[in-house]
Amino acid sequence: MSYQVIARKYRPQTFQDLVGQQHVTETLKNAIVNNRVAHAYIFSGARGVGKTTAARILAKALNCVKGPTPEPCGVCDSCKEIAAGTSLDVIEIDAASNRGIDQIRELREMVRYAPAASRTKVVILDEAHMLTGEASNALLKTLEEPPDRVVFVMATTEPENLEDTIRSRSQHFHFRALTFAEITKRLEEIAQKENLKIEPGATAVIARMAEGSLRDALSLLEQARAYCGDTIPDDQVRALLGVVPEDALEELVGAIAAGSADRALGLVHAFQKEGRNLQHFCREAIRHVRNLLIARVCGADSELIAATADQRPAIAKAAALFSEEDLTRFFQILLQTDDDLRRKPDPRVHLEMGLLRLINASRLAPLEELLAELKSGAPGSASAGTARVSSSGLPPVRQEISSPAIPAFTSPSRTAPPTPAAASTIPTRPEMNQQFPSQTAVSPAATSASSEVKAPNGNKEPVRVSGISPEQVAEIKTAIQAQQKFLGELVEQSIGWELEGAELRIYFSPDKRAFAEMIEGREPLEKIRAVSSTVLGRAVRVCARLESAAAAAAAASGSQELRAQFERDPLVRSMLQRFGGRITEVRARPEEK
Ligand SMILES: Nc1ncnc2c1ncn2[C@@H]1O[C@H](COP(=O)(O)OP(=O)(O)OP(=O)(O)O)[C@@H](O)[C@H]1O
Ligand SMILES: [Mg+2]
Ligand SMILES: [Zn+2]
């Protein structure tokens, strides 16, 4: 027998074999038993989750000599032909490349004549949303007067883009993205059947990269076999897929915990020498810290962490080394580093700076110590700056220095706005006020300023909406929060909601890119989609967007000048450095405008 790629070879042949889509297969099986199979189905869902496979199994079930039966025999001529893709009863059309009216006319001709007695033709229209308007109309006519013993299955990744008239005449099944656990299990089964020795770590990497698509997972397994042979070790798969070795991430965490700049810089050095992509490393570090943060907040067994059972204890242990605030700060620093790596030349320098900031952030000096340093003018402190600040002619301003983002999702309650750590400690101390002349930046006002933060996304602006009411947004947010706290917290970071047609866009500011990216995962998107569709009473699709840089810049330009002055200020700089912070906002005091 000729060589078959793994994904083809292990295409499920029965409803039971189909992983993770029981909600669909049970309904189809019932319909077959009760002789209530519909004329038209919509199978929607992401790539490689079993839509085409299910359509073929349905065809087998209807045409098996023992059938119609929910359990096709697999050995009769019909079953074999369908499995081999040579059956005349199954017509597969790729609507993406046959979008026109002519093809649909042809199709109508084909299905007009009933198939041979006791058989049912199954027409699978792949990517059905790609049909032209004309072709959709022609298809609709067919669906309105369905020919006998013909079943249409419209498979699509974008069901919202099907004509409403077609949707209303079809039964709709949504195929869900597969979970990390489902994918690893299937990979393990297949590896065993293929006599592949694959390390659990390698399975985990593949499952993670597949992002819910079993086909992608099997293609990656195929690649891994081509690259490694029949023994597939973790490190080789990581090398193949450009994924950072787990022990490098552990080493990074160890270096941070030990406060060892040496060890952290050593990592960069080693990566550079091995010719690894430094941005990759930063991304992986972000993912790792995110996992630690989730482990801290929700527990290491959270399904939000894509890791195998035997990786979880290590994650729990590493997470226990840090506080939630620490991890949030690391997360933010790494995001900033990622941004630098993307936009600026010399990735090595930026990665090194980023890691040094991580190390510093993990050993924040007590405030008193810092103050003493500032006062005494110790080298590296900013005491010289202190003196200069008061006479630097800075305009009277109120400023908030926030410790890097403590994003809202760490705050336990929705009602209290997150108070940036630095803002809450620094300004309330009377000695600080003596230390800094009234004209200078850090004043008690900063505290009240931060409590003005109404929107949990850290902006003064309320969340911007268009095409959707603020009440609906609030309702969606509450429902998401109720379903999954962490996801709710992510959504809270949004700055705008826009509904246009069937597309619901959730906007994030560019510095919240990571939140947008987390939401962009299949499962989160699916959850938000389901909730939003329910609240809005109609099907929508959801996407996360970044607010354009131009829009953000326009909003910021007013404070640009003030900000520049502050950024040059040695005292402010020293504070930021010590706390690993950044200036979130600079505003003129209203009374002195
Ligand atoms: N739910 C599943 N259970 C078991 N195997 C699956 C499943 N989904 C996908 N696969 C594997 O992936 C391959 C491709 O699946 P299939 O063609 O059904 O995906 P699809 O949903 O139609 O994707 P696309 O939208 O890209 O057409 C199958 O041959 C099978 O090996
Ligand atoms: Mg398909
Ligand atoms: Zn059969």
Quote the number of domains for the chain: 5
Percent of the chain with pLDDT strictly greater than 90: 33
Pocket test for ligand 1, best of 9, 23, 47, 49 (most atoms within 8 A of CB): 49
Does 19 contact ligand 1 (Cβ within 6 A)?
A: yes
* Residues in a beta bridge with 505: 498, 543
* Residues in a beta bridge with 198: 232
Ranking 281-285, 470-474, 492-496, 507-511 by mean pLDDT, the lowest is 507-511
Are 196 and 130 in a shared domain? no
Q: Tell me which of 547, 563, 581 is where a domain ends.
A: 547
Residue nearest to atom 19 of ligand 1 (CA): 48
Are 91 and 170 in a shared domain? yes
Which of these, 211, 227, 565, lies nearest to 396 by C-alpha position? 565
Which of these, 107, 63, 54, 58, lies nearest to 81 by C-alpha position? 63
From ligand 1's centre to the CA of 290, what distance in Å?
30
User: In the block, which residue shows the tokens 């027409």?
Assistant: 123
Q: Is residue 185 part of a domain?
A: yes
Q: Write the pLDDT tens digit of every residue in 134-170.
A: 888 888 888 888 888 889 999 999 888 888 888 999 9
- Strand 121-126 to 90-94 pairing: parallel
Are 82 and 156 in a shared domain? yes
Q: Which positions ≥6 away from 37 have C-beta within 8 Å?
A: 28, 31, 58, 62, 68, 120, 151
Are 572 and 429 in a shared domain? yes
Q: What is the pLDDT of residue 588?
A: 63
Are 31 and 133 in a shared domain? yes
Does 130 contact ligand 1 (Cβ within 6 A)?
A: no
Q: What is the pLDDT of residue 382?
A: 38
Does 184 contact ligand 1 (Cβ within 6 A)?
A: no
- Rounded Cα distance between 508 and 514, Å, is 9
Q: How confident is the model at residue 32 (pLDDT cuts 50, 70, 90)?
A: very high
Average pLDDT over residues 461-484: 86
Q: What is the pLDDT of residue 453?
A: 32
* CA dihedral sign of residues 529, 530, 535, 536: positive
- Global pTM value: 0.58
Atom of ligand 1 nearest to the CA of 45: 21
Q: Write the pLDDT tens digit of every residue in 379-412.
A: 443 333 332 232 233 333 333 333 333 333 333 3
- CATH number, position 262: 1.20.272.10
Are 322 and 251 in a shared domain? yes
Q: Write the pLDDT tens digit of every residue in 71-100.
A: 999 999 999 999 998 888 888 888 877 777
Q: Which domain does 535 fall in, by range? A: 464-547
Q: Is residue 482 part of a domain?
A: yes
The angle at the Cα of 308, spanning 305 to 309, to the nearest 5 degrees, equals: 100
Are 267 and 214 in a shared domain? no
Residue nearest to atom 16 of ligand 1 (CA): 50
Helices 200-210 and 234-241: crossing angle in degrees, nearest 10, is 30
Residue with the bigger pLDDT between 531 and 583: it is 531
Are 93 and 56 in a shared domain? yes
Q: Tell me which of 202, 221, 241 is where a domain ends.
A: 241
- pLDDT > 50? residue 541: yes
Are 288 and 353 in a shared domain? yes
Are 565 and 424 in a shared domain? yes
C-alpha distances out from residue 585 to 409, 460, 560, Å: 20, 10, 10
CB 411 within 8 A of CB 417: yes
Are 414 and 501 in a shared domain? no
Which of these, 132, 67, 143, 63, lies nearest to 102 by C-alpha position? 132
Q: Which positions ≥6 away from 126 have C-beta within 8 Å?
A: 52, 92, 93, 94, 95, 96, 155, 156
Q: What is the pLDDT of residue 407?
A: 33
Q: How confident is the model at residue 473 (pLDDT cuts 50, 70, 90)?
A: very high
Q: Is residue 1 part of a domain?
A: no
Does 70 contact ligand 1 (Cβ within 6 A)?
A: no
Q: What is the pLDDT of residue 94?
A: 85
Q: What is the pLDDT of residue 1?
A: 55
- CATH number, position 524: 3.30.300.180
- Rounded Cα distance between 231 and 191, Å, is 10
Q: Write the pLDDT tens digit of every residue in 181-223.
A: 899 999 999 999 999 999 998 999 999 888 889 999 999 999 9
Q: Is residue 402 part of a domain?
A: yes
From ligand 1's centre to the CA of 12, what distance in Å?
8
* Residues in a beta bridge with 42: 154, 172
Are 122 and 260 in a shared domain? no
